[in-house]
A and B are shown apart, each in its own frame.
Chain A
Amino acid sequence: MKILVPIAQVPDTTAKISFTDNNTKFNATGVQFIINPYDEWYALVRALELKEAGLAEKVSVIHVGLADADATIRKALALGADDSFRIDTDPADAYVVAQQLAQFIKNNPYELILMGKETISYNSGVAAGILAGLLDYPYIANASKLDINGNTAVAHQDIEGGYQVVECALPVVISANKGMAEQRIPNMKGIMAARTKPLQVIPAYPVNITTKYEQFELAPGRSACKFIDPNNVEELVHLLHTEAKVI
């Protein structure tokens, strides 16, 4: 079995968010980029664990983006992925990413496509589902545990108020939630090896582009916190009712 892990590149969780070009573009100046945590900590690490357990022959990573992401892809290789691909285009949205991935997978079949449940930048959480729909593969969303049993994926799928145990024959698209694996730090040997592992650049496939981010604005900060005497909680109840109008 071969596993494909699509990875996104996102601003570091603590990065200061700002916009340029009259608030129509994210301002990447001085921003540190990382692999999207859901893709790295859960999807990629679990894929590597499955390979280490002898359940997969190969783990490939793929990124849809421009050459500035190559360092991010190398980090995935340093963690232990065998090879990597970059589809050379700046994607407008999750639908574009899914279309690019679907065409790649039609030409390069993988039995398991394992990716994070959402990016922490655009928070769409739809790329995996669109990809599964385009390929007409079965889809397990929000898996917090994943095992492979022969030709079958066995997963814990998070639902409201709990989880369900599901099974599905391969090939399948799975989106990873917290809990599937623990974060790893690449070691020196991995970092050295990553330099010579394959990173193949693929020209973009023709796709439909349907959405555009027209305008961004920063969320307004809250006005200063009103402090209430801990011996006068009735005051808080009063304010929640009359001022905030939330109870």
Chain B
Amino acid sequence: MSVLVFADASNNGKVKKASFEATYFASQIAQQTGGKCVVLSLKADDDSKQKLAHAGAQKIINITNDIPAISDVSVAAKILLKYTQTEGIKDVVLPNDIQGKAVASYLAGLLNTGIAPAVTSLVSINGSTYVFKRNVFSGKAYAQISISSDKKVITLLPNSLQIQWNTQNIAEIKDITENDNYTPRVIVKSVEKTTTGGNIPLPEAEIVVSGGRGLKGPENWGIIEDLAKALGAATACSRPVADAHWRPHHEHVGQTGIAIRPNLYIAIGISGAIQHLAGVSGSKTIVVINTDKEAPFFKAADYGIVGDAFEVVPKLTEAIKKFKASQQ
């Protein structure tokens, strides 16, 4: 049966990486169930539509007009619900980012059906029973979860899979106008962006440079930002740093902050409390830079440098720049 993906590009026409991943994942499910991978996109530009096709979309329904009410997740979920009905959809896949998780869970409620949240891979499909892998206990364990409802809502954890792009794949594209007379119940009064560094959303970033109390103060964050810039990385921080308001709290990674799983996590001046590790232990490679060779974080690291961040980090930034220049 066909699988529906929701890709919101209303911000700038560009579909997010996490939505391409969801599309690729949905196409794998569709292949195994003999269905179609259908993407409902919102204001996607031509380049993004082509990339959706290359990620595995067979049909793209692209809404071309603004629907201001869609910022209310219940409206977004109701629009998705409508297309599950018109397209004969059984399975819906969304990225497990902030918006995707909210819309997907609301949709599962509207459909009164089962949900497999924050999965990382597909294990098997046997009739109407799908088995997925997901992380539990804040990354300390993995679980296989089976879901056997007739309709299924699935969210895919960002950075969980490598998309195999198929540049030969062509999708049927329908640009449509959706009626915009939805009335939002949750009304956005203002939007406050607190991002100071690059524009890479933390949950999607492949490389993350993170600073802790060892940086001694917010005025010293320049070395973190320089390294992040050289690597094309997002910046993050530990809980004490966010609590002291050295950095905005949406940068806080850890048990009570956000959990991330980049390819490379560089922790600078962070001791590695168990609550911090819970939010980053899914990272593929961890580098720790700390003056204290007894810091618990070294036990969870792949590479470590025992040294003063104020000396090591600028040197590392220069070495990265040199390496990047040599690769061009």
- Tell me if A236 and B108 are in contact (CB < 8 A): no
Minimum CB–CB distance from A114 to chain B (whole Å) comes to 15
Q: Which residues of chain A (192-247) have a CB below 8 Å from chain B?
A: 208, 210-219, 222-223, 225-230, 233-234, 236-237, 239-241, 244, 246-247
Is B195 an interface residue when CB atoms closer than 8 A count as contact?
yes
Quick one: given A133-B105, A211-B145, are A164 and B191 in contact (CB under 8 Å)?
A: yes
A177 to B206, CA, bound (A): 24
CB contact between A178 and one of B193, B194, B249, B308 (< 8 Å): that residue: B249
A215 to B195, CA, bound (A): 40
Is A49 an interface residue when CB atoms closer than 8 A count as contact?
no
Is A185 an interface residue when CB atoms closer than 8 A count as contact?
no
Q: Which residues of chain B (287-321) have a CB below 8 Å from chain A?
A: 287-288, 298-308, 311-312, 315-316, 319-320
CB nearest to B194 among chain A residues: A162
CB nearest to B157 among chain A residues: A123
Interface residues on A, range: 35 or more
Please indicate the chain A residues that have their CB under 8 angstroms from the CB of B105 in the complex.
94, 125-130, 132-133
Query: Which interface residue of A11, A102, A159, A161 has the most chain B CB atoms within 10 A?
Result: A161
Minimum CB–CB distance from A98 to chain B (whole Å) comes to 7
Minimum CB–CB distance from A103 to chain B (whole Å) comes to 12
- Tell me if B102 and A129 are in contact (CB < 8 A): yes
Please indicate the chain B residues that have their CB under 8 angstroms from the CB of A217 in the complex.
141-143
Q: At the interface with chain B, which of A51-59, A61-69, A138-146?
A: A138-146
- Tell me if B101 and A129 are in contact (CB < 8 A): yes
- Tell me if B97 and A160 are in contact (CB < 8 A): yes
Is B64 an interface residue when CB atoms closer than 8 A count as contact?
no
- Tell me if A134 and B304 are in contact (CB < 8 A): no
Is B247 an interface residue when CB atoms closer than 8 A count as contact?
no
- Tell me if A129 and B312 are in contact (CB < 8 A): no
- Tell me if B300 and A222 are in contact (CB < 8 A): yes
Is B216 an interface residue when CB atoms closer than 8 A count as contact?
no
- Tell me if A125 and B118 are in contact (CB < 8 A): yes
- Tell me if A161 and B144 are in contact (CB < 8 A): no
CB nearest to B75 among chain A residues: A138
Please indicate the chain A residues that have their CB under 8 angstroms from the CB of B114 in the complex.
93, 95, 208, 210-211
Quick one: given A130-B115, A163-B250, A233-B305, are A168 and B187 in contact (CB under 8 Å)?
A: yes
* B interface, CB within 8 angstroms of A: 71-74, 77, 97-99, 101-118, 131, 135-149, 155, 185-195, 199, 201-203, 206-207, 231, 248-250, 252, 255-257, 259, 263-264, 274-275, 278, 281, 284-288, 298-308, 311-312, 315-316, 319-320, 323
Given A141-B101, A160-B250, 8 more contacts at CB 8 Å? A125-B101, A133-B77, A213-B144, A215-B143, A218-B141, A233-B312, A234-B319, A247-B207
For the complex of A and B, list the 3 residue pairs with the smallest distance between their C-beta atoms, beginning with the closest. A133-B109, A129-B105, A210-B114
* A interface, CB within 8 angstroms of B: 11, 13-14, 17, 19, 37-38, 93-95, 98-99, 102, 120-136, 138-142, 144, 158-169, 172, 178-179, 208, 210-219, 222-223, 225-230, 233-234, 236-237, 239-241, 244, 246-247
Listed A/B pairs (5) with beta-carbon separation below 8 Å: A129-B73, A133-B77, A213-B144, A240-B287, A247-B264
